[in-house]
């Protein structure tokens, strides 16, 4: 055979070697790509797992917050319902003393003793209210102040200069540092 007939065989062998080399390279590239996809898939699964854990934590936190809000609302309602409990407990002895005074007043006709007992009960009642921060305002002789006084009348007065409270018609009260009820007063003109 001639060299020309060997040439196609050589070309064919070279082509087969090139195809084998290309196939090997493609196969190696496919394996590398498969490994990369596998790594990314593993990383993606890991990230999905973390996302699920975070979502579950979020749901638990949301439920905890809802429970906290409900519990706080219930505590506020209960506090408002029983806020006067302490004051009522302090007033019960006063009520007991009033009942005793009424019974004693019906049994005997000693009105001086009854008056003295009622006066003592009144002082006890004032002490309970003062303990809670209630205090009566002193208005007579003070300059008129619309924040503390409600003028119901102006009167002519030679003893006081203009704008001075000369008479208190109804006491005013302060609860701690807030005006609970302004005093009804007569003011000099």
CB 186 within 8 A of CB 154: yes
At 8 the pLDDT is 60
pLDDT, one tens digit per residue, over 23-39 is 777 778 788 888 888 78
pLDDT above 80: residue 170 = yes
Reference 135, options 168, 171, 174, 183; nearest CA is 174
Handedness of CA 35, 37, 39, 42 (dihedral sign): negative
At 112 the pLDDT is 83
Please give the Cα distance from 183 to 166 (Å, whole number). 12
Secondary structure E strands in 41-98: none
pLDDT, one tens digit per residue, over 6-27 is 566 566 666 777 777 777 777 7
Q: What is the pLDDT averaged over residues 150-154?
A: 93
Instruction: Please report, rounded to a whole number, the percentage of residues in the chain having pLDDT higher than 90.
Output: 52
pLDDT, one tens digit per residue, over 81-100 is 888 888 889 999 999 998 88
Q: What is the pLDDT averaged over residues 164-177?
A: 93
Q: What is the DSSP letter of 172?
A: -
pLDDT above 90: residue 50 = yes
Please give the Cα distance from 157 to 175 (Å, whole number). 32
Secondary structure E strands in the chain: 134-136, 149-155, 165-170, 173-175, 178-181, 183-188
- CA end-to-end span of the chain, whole Å? 147
pLDDT above 80: residue 48 = yes
At 54 the pLDDT is 96
The pTM for the full model equals 0.58
3-state DSSP percent of the chain in helix, strand and coil, to 5: 65, 15, 20
Please give the Cα distance from 186 to 189 (Å, whole number). 10
């Amino acid at each position: 055979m001639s060299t020309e007939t060997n040439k196609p065989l050589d070309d064919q062998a070279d082509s087969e070697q090139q195809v084998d080399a290309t196939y090997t390279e493609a196969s190696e590239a496919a394996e590398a790509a498969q490994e990369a996809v596998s790594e990314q898939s593993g990383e993606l699964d890991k990230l999905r797992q973390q996302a699920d854990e975070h979502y579950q934590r979020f749901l638990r936190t949301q439920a905890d917050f809802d429970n906290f809000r409900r519990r706080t609302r219930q505590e506020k309602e209960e506090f408002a319902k029983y806020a006067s409990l302490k004051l009522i407990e302090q007033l019960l002895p006063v009520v007991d003393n009033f009942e005793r005074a009424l019974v004693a007043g019906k049994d005997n006709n000693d009105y001086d003793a009854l008056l003295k007992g009622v006066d003592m009960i009144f002082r006890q009642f004032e002490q309970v209210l003062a303990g809670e921060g209630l205090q009566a305002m002193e208005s007579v002789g003070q300059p008129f102040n619309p924040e503390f006084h409600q003028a119901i009348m102006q009167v002519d007065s030679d003893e006081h200069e203009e704008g001075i409270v000369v008479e208190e018609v109804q006491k005013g009260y302060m609860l701690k540092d807030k005006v609970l009820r302004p005093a009804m007063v007569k003011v000099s003109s």
